[in-house]
Structure 1
Amino acid sequence: MKTNFSIPALVVALLFCCLSFGLQAQDRPTEGISPVPVEEVIAPPVGPTTEISFTETTFDFGTIEEGTVVTHVFTFTNAGNEPLILTDVKGSCGCTVPQWPREPLAPGETASITVEFNSKAKSGKRNQRVTITSNTDPPQRFIYLTGEIAPKSELDFTISPLTDDEAVKEILVEEAPEVAPIDPDCFAIYPNPTAELLRLDMEGNLGNAATISILSKTGQLMAERKIDRIEGTIEFQVGHYPAGLYIAHVQIEGKQMQPRCFVVVD
């Protein structure tokens, strides 16, 4: 008996076989071949962009003993003409934890990012990266903590004995910094200590221009803001600062600069 087999039917059958083979080939696991890593594609920011400028992008902590916690503050400025918004700041691993201000920064305003690196169970040379995502172009910038971690047995520490006066000063600064003002005219801001917000009551200077700078007790600039016209209480987010004593320099246009001390606690 002769069977009639049309050409179109044969083509359809061949196509079906090819598709079935392709599907089976995709399902079959590939051995000995590592998957190709795919870089995360960051979409450009939506809306107006600005520029961010860092005082430094790399901090070398030198050689430290394993288990030491390193804390460093990176200062940056909105160098563009639009408000700067940090949408995310992320460390390269769980041992590197950044803290940053959430409020938008006006053009020309200065703020800071605090990065803490825990060297527990780490060794050798380190290059800890922090990725900053914001409304800039490109949308990501990077800052780094670099250095080397040595086992505890390899480090030789020499500790100089403190005099009685130095010991007293150290206790005052570390345990009760609010009772050790930097300057006689510098007094603690109420409430003291503060944990999240620094509030400056500017009721007596409404309508005036002002520049406010916040410095650590070592003199590092933490934040700076220029105000064209004072309209009331001025707030700074300070919850991401390392615990310790800080001083706010309040410079009212046409008046003498006034220091104000405050304390940030854990």
Structure 2
Amino acid sequence: MNDVLPPLFGSRHERFKTVAVDAARKAGAILQQYARSGFQIEYKSVVNLVTDADHQAEQAIIDCILAAYPSHGIFAEERGRQLGTDSAFQWIIDPLDGTTNFAHGYPAYCVSIGLEYEGQGLLGVVYDPTRDELFTAVVGQGAYLNGTRLHVSDVQRLDQALLVTGFAYDIRDTPANNLDHFARFALRAQGLRRTGTAALDLCYVAAGRFDGFWELKLQPWDMAAGVVILREAGGRVSNFKGGPLSIYDQGLVASNGLIHEAMLAVLALG
């Protein structure tokens, strides 16, 4: 993973970030409006749902981005992939990460917007409208929370670490459901949490609120922004075997770097 901006990205990174932040804040305002006034729920499956707030927030983000960059590609959770004439740039969007939380009135959800150039994650913006917390990062420029520089924790031992994870929508239908990993980590870590929003989990590791995160069966829009933010905060991400992470693979291990090998060792137990 490169840690500097590619030449074609250049000085444009501030404009890209401005557009992403504007889109995220507009989407966040839409989510909060629906949270106050009510929304309709559709079920993709028994435990996988979507609301009209998802759709409206996603449309607002796409409109913002395409107004500024009409040639760029879009890869959004609800809309899918739209190829642009400038296919080197792709915006990866989750308009509401934590839809189940949102639908139940539990204030743990966010807007996540990432930008790739030729497959390399360059920019991440994650906005939590319930706390007005804006996480941002540009490759080689550091990670920030509401303008304050972020850095991962300095916890060095797994038994002193607070970890977070999540469970896929098919938890009832597959043995690869993360329950075995959860049980093993519960016996080795200081504590475990499950928030229901992977993008915020990654940002919280970046902010030192969690020390490590792992999850199976994530989608690109769950990881695109948060991975950039975590790396820029000094963290480490990998696949379950410790190799390079692709957001188009589904297993992710993220940490402050100091407990990463210990986490991989637990996952390797089966």
Task: State the TM-score, normalizing by the size of structure 1.
Answer: 0.24
Greater strand proportion: 1
The higher radius of gyration belongs to: 1
